Amino acid sequence: MVTVDEAHCISQWGHDFRPTYREIAGVISNLKTRPIVSAFTATATDIVKNDIIDLLHLENPYVLTTGFDRSNLNFSVEYPTNKRKYVLDFVKDNSNISGIIYCLTRKTVDSLFDELSALGYNVSKYHGGMKESDRTKSQEDFIYDRTTIMVATNAFGMGIDKSNIRYVIHYNMPKDLESYYQEAGRAGRDGDSSSCILLFNRADIITNKFLIEHSGIPSSKTNYDMEYSKLNDIVDYCNTDTCLRKYILEYFGEIPLFDNCNNCGNCLSTIETTDITVDAKKILSCIKRMNEKFGIGLVSDVLRGSNSFKIKSLKFDTLSTYGIMKDYSKNTIKDLIYFLITECYIEIVGNKYPVLKLTKNASNVLFNNEKVTIKRKIEKIPQKVDDDYDSQLFDILRSIRRNISIENNIPPFIVFSDITLKQMATYYPITKENMLNISGVGSLKFEKYGNIFIEAINNYVSANNIKPQDFIMQSEKTRKASNSRVDTAAVTYDLFKNGKTIKDIAEERDLKISTIEGHLLKYYEMGKDVNLSSYIHSNYRDDIYNAIRTYGYTKLRVLKDALPKDVTYLDIKYYVIEYQKNA
């Protein structure tokens, strides 16, 4: 008998496709006598199951599905505003039990590991960027209970059978439910109660889209459509208010005999059901009036009444739905839209530039008085509508910035600040001349990153039929109008250039010294002439560089704890910028 374990790896539709698995069938066919062939996997949808049968050339196979339900696992989805604080609070309350914290990127693993270590927890880490000997030691420390916490990417876990894992936290949303269920399923293998917690943030959707585009899967529209479809399924899982266990079982083709498992975050929720029919009608009507040609970001901006130039140029500020949900925050509106997608009133069409379209079910709400309810607390948080930038483009640019920061192991702000990206998403610079007019884009940074962002902006304006020249004209008017506004960092810079000390400027302007330091570091980072040598402990330069190399670009406090006591935050921030410039 030849047995293939983790057989989902043989299928390109499987969540962990590995090309070398495709060679197994050839090895078997070259044997003089074909042996009995068997295949095992814990997570396979029907399409993956059929793919395994076809690719291994199984003849009239005996197929046994023992069931996907793990009744001892409690599933929940949380929406923390601060993921790091949520994890630290959870670990503090559960420090004596074993658990895994899964992260999407190596950088997140490293920074979370450093922070937990600094707080004195027994913690291991595991990702593909570590030496094999270090990975082996981390794995063994965790398996033999020498450490209680494992922070890891999805590289950790295949073949791991530690029975007493009491919780699995997904710091980021995985790209599909198969990955999530296999990783979450490493909890509670001894049959005892265990928690499986997914921390959801919409930014994870953007990260996963980037990972799909750069996944190395065979490039074809069918492949990408399948990957995006699976991503949409797990986004729906994160947004449903129905039984999470039932959702998972139905996804894997199993028909549950219950509607309420009484052991998941949704079923155990004490939040009362809220009627959101009126809000649903507002959202559906807005999408219809925008001709079903735009994405979540722009629809949300119209509903909130944003004054962005794009909305005005498209005359969306004349729609009857403009500003009718201004008493909600943008994030709340997005949450409601995702819920309506999950409930099949709206569908997402397109991958790179997704747009919202109404389904047939939407007409039941709009015209037949069908009620829409949600078992979730909906907060009306009035938020000042002053976002004059294109939020959809901003998300794209932020994703590109994140990719550059990961590839170069530098903090995102070293690439471009949020303010710089928002200006790009306001003025749509598609030439070098216009890009250099954006605050925070100097010649050095343009040479490093400028063309990457110009290409993305060009693609975006083409896909959305935006006329950049109109926005350039607007940006020039806006820039002229803004000349009268006070740039507080510029005031600090001028005073410093005229010989004022940091302390004198802070006293004169009634600001904290750390604020003045921040202003000057901003200009130093931009390549301006800012001589901070008299404020810097230059004798600690090598110590700070070594700490950066050891700990990476983590939170400043972690670096500071590893350095002599008289090293200041100004020293660290200065040499982080200096180190990057030298690199």
Please, what is the average pLDDT of the chain?
Answer: 85
CA–CA separation, 207 and 202 (whole Å): 9
Instruction: Judge whether residue 382 has pLDDT over 90.
Output: no
DSSP three-state, residue 118: helix
d(CA 79, CA 95): 22
Confidence of residue 366 (pLDDT cuts 50, 70, 90): very high
d(CA 451, CA 245): 46
Q: What is the DSSP string of 176-194?
A: SHHHHHHHHTTS-TTSS-E
Question: What is the second-level CATH architecture of the domain 391-484?
Answer: Orthogonal Bundle (1.10)
pLDDT of residue 384: 46
Q: b or e along 487-510 (b: 16 or more beta carbons within 10 Å of the residue's beta carbon)?
A: eebeebbebbeeebebeebbeebe
Q: Which is more confident, 267 or 488?
A: 267
- Please tell me the predicted confidence (pLDDT) of residue 220: 61
pTM: 0.59
DSSP 3-state assignment of 167? strand
pLDDT tens sequence across 145-155? 999 999 999 88
DSSP conformation class of 447: I
Same fold, 73-251 and 274-374: no
> By the 8 A CB rule, do 167 and 142 touch?
no
Averaged pLDDT for residues 60-83: 90
pLDDT tens digit string along 201-223?
A: 888 887 888 778 776 665 566 77
385 φ/ψ angles, rounded to the nearest 5 degrees: -90, 90
3-state secondary structure of 312: helix
Mean pLDDT, rounded, for 313-342: 90
pLDDT at residue 478 is higher than 80:
no
Q: What is the mean pLDDT of residues 183-187?
A: 92
**Percent of the chain clearing pLDDT 90 (strictly above):** 39
CA–CA dist 290, 309 (Å, integer)? 16
Question: Above pLDDT 70, what percent of the chain?
Answer: 90
The residues facing 77 across adjacent strands are: 198
Highest mean pLDDT among 181-195, 430-444, 490-504: 181-195
pLDDT at 383: 47
pLDDT score at 215? 66
End-to-end Cα separation, the chain, in angstroms: 55
Reference 44, options 161, 179, 153; nearest CA is 179
Residue 317 has a CB neighbour count (10 Å cut-off) of: 15
For 513-562, write each residue's pLDDT tens digit: 888 888 888 888 777 778 888 888 888 888 888 877 777 655 566 777 77
| Phi, psi (degrees; rounded to nearest 5) at 386 | -130, 20
Q: Where are the domains of the chain?
A: 2-55, 73-251, 274-374, 391-484
CB atoms within 10 A of CB 233: 16
pLDDT above 90: residue 142:
yes
- According to CATH, the topology of domain 73-251 is Rossmann fold (3.40.50)
Which residues have C-beta within 8 Å of that of residue 137, sequence separation ≥ 6?
Answer: none
Determine the Cα–Cα distance for residues 174 and 192; give it in Å rounded to an integer: 25
Which residues, other chains included, contact 225 with Cβ-Cβ below 8 Å and sequence gap of 6+? 351
List 117's β-bridge partners, or say none.
none
Contact of 17 with 230, CB cutoff 8 Å: no
Q: Kindly report which listed range (245-254, 433-442, 552-561) carries the lowest average pLDDT score.
A: 552-561
What is the pLDDT at residue 83? Answer: 92
CATH fit for domain 274-374, picks 3.90.1300.10, 1.10.10.10, 3.40.50.970, 3.20.20.70: 1.10.10.10
Phi, psi dihedral angles at 25 (to 5 degrees): -60, -40
From 140-144, 304-308, 323-327, the region with the lowest mean pLDDT: 304-308
- Report residue 387's pLDDT band, with 50, 70 and 90 as the boundaries: low
Residue 517 pLDDT? 87
